[in-house]
Amino acid sequence: MRLPGNWTRLRPLLWPVALFYGALVWWRNFFYQIGFFVTRRVPVPVVSIGNLTVGGTGKTPAVIFLARHLRLLGYRPGIVSRGYGRHTRGTVLVSDGRKLQATVGAAGDEAFLLASRLPEVPVVVDEDRYRGASLLSAEHDVDVLLLDDGFQHRGLARNCDLLLMDAAAPARDYRMFPYGTLRERLSAVQRAVLVVWTRTEYFSPDAALRQKLAAYPAPQIDSRMEAATLLQAVGGGVDQTSAELAGRPILAFCGIGRPQSFYQKLLELGLEPQWVRYFPDHHAYTRADLEILADLAAPPETVLITTEKDAVKLPGDFLAGHEVYSLKIEFTISGADLKKLDEVLLGCLPIPRSTAPAGEA
């Protein structure tokens, strides 16, 4: 995540706040290290996917990829998430691995998207991740749990931490929040078993930063974000390829951590929006927001394109009156990097008892 220009100008004023925040995080980690704060374990192994920074690094696509990959390796994964932005508290079963059990409002946009994209994988949300993990391990047929955005959630023991790092972020942003984007000191990388650089299709990681991370045991691999050429019709209708939509008036809108990446993917597909509207991450669309979008989409033949995470939050009456499509983004790891991922996973997980599901091998 790159810091916005106005934030960068405020940096000198934010340094004392960053020092105080960094001290709090250091003491919290210290108390976990000496056992003063309790870390609890569930009966099945846990793999955490998280990051060191605020903002988007592609965690949701990464969790989708990893859940599918674990199934290919013969595991039966479940997913535990906090359910950021939901309107509920406590434990909510989003999917039992057969069908959805909760609405997007009850689950949160990311957890609902995970359950929608992974219909065979149980998903639970809970602000107490240990409680949610306990439910999945006790009541559902899982033999490994994926802890979504779990690097800083140390109350639940995990077998391994996969750490995502945004290749687009310059080294100067890797300073303690709010002076920079770090949630905790860079030295926390030592808790990870693997560093995964994201968005390497556009950027190469900062050479000095990559070299600094090389001092820690975790190997580093690269990943890519690939946009599907077939855009999915939201709320009914027929899916369309990017070639079929090219040339039509387009309104692109989203509420994600790094909206520039969404816009860039549209341009790659030959789709150049006439209007672009960005909202805050995890934005809950109000009636006023929808009226603004409707006004922008008033010209004849206008199509609206958004992300999958935003599409699940659009109400039916809005979808009925507009032609809306969602852009699917796939997280990918290949070649030697995929072999390294397998080596790390099989090194911290027990041998699976089942073979790959039919049709997934």
CA 12 to CA 323: how far, in whole Å?
Answer: 46
Q: What is the distance between the alpha carbons of residues 139 and 145, in angstroms, rounded to a whole number?
A: 13
pTM of the model: 0.91
At residue 117, the pLDDT reads: 96
**Per-residue model confidence (pLDDT) at position 151:** 96
Contact (Cβ atoms closer than 8 angstroms) between residue 43 and residue 137: yes
How does DSSP classify residue 322? S
For residue 321, give the nearest of 336, 338, 304, 305 by alpha carbon.
Answer: 304
- The pLDDT value given to residue 275: 96
Query: Is position 61 within any domain?
Result: yes
**What is the per-residue pLDDT for 361?**
43
Among all chains, which residue has been given the structure tokens 């699940």? Answer: 312
106 domain-assigned: no
299 shares its domain with 151: no
What CATH number is given to the structural domain containing 43?
3.40.50
Assigned domain for 117 exists? no
Its domain, for residue 174, covers 5-76+143-225+332-348
- The answer on 338 and 193 residing in a single domain is yes
Are the C-beta atoms of 266 and 305 separated by less than 8 Å? yes
Same domain, 161 and 71: yes
- Number of independent structural domains in the chain: 2
Q: Where are the alpha helices (DSSP H) in 214-305?
A: 242-245, 259-268, 287-296
Q: Is residue 170 included in any domain, yes or no?
A: yes
Tokens read off for 270: 């030959």
Q: Which helix (H) or strand (E) holds 258?
A: none
Write down the pLDDT at residue 355.
57
At 10 the pLDDT is: 65
Q: Indicate if 161 and 301 belong to the same structural domain.
A: no
Is residue 125 in a domain?
A: no
Amino acid at 245: L
pLDDT score at 1? 46
Which residues neighbour 243 within 8 Å (Cβ) at sequence distance 6 or greater?
229, 270
Please check whether residue 284 lies inside any domain of the structure.
yes
pLDDT, residue 171, reads: 85
Considering the domain architecture, whether residues 72 and 158 belong to the same structural domain is answered as yes
Residue 98 resides in a domain: no
Q: What is the reported pLDDT for 206?
A: 92
Instruction: Output the CA torsion 345→193→149→81 (10° steps).
Output: 40
Q: What is the torsion angle, in degrees rounded to the nearest 10, for the CA atoms of residue 196, residue 197, residue 201 and residue 207?
A: -140
| Per-residue pLDDT in tens (0 to 9) along the chain, 361 residues | 445 555 556 667 788 888 898 999 999 999 999 999 999 999 999 999 999 998 778 899 999 999 999 999 999 999 999 999 899 999 999 999 999 999 999 999 999 999 999 999 999 999 999 999 999 999 999 999 999 999 999 999 999 999 999 998 888 888 888 888 899 999 999 999 999 999 999 899 999 999 999 999 999 999 999 999 999 999 888 999 999 999 999 999 999 988 989 999 999 999 999 999 999 999 999 999 999 999 999 999 999 999 999 999 999 999 999 999 999 999 999 999 999 999 999 999 998 876 555 555 4
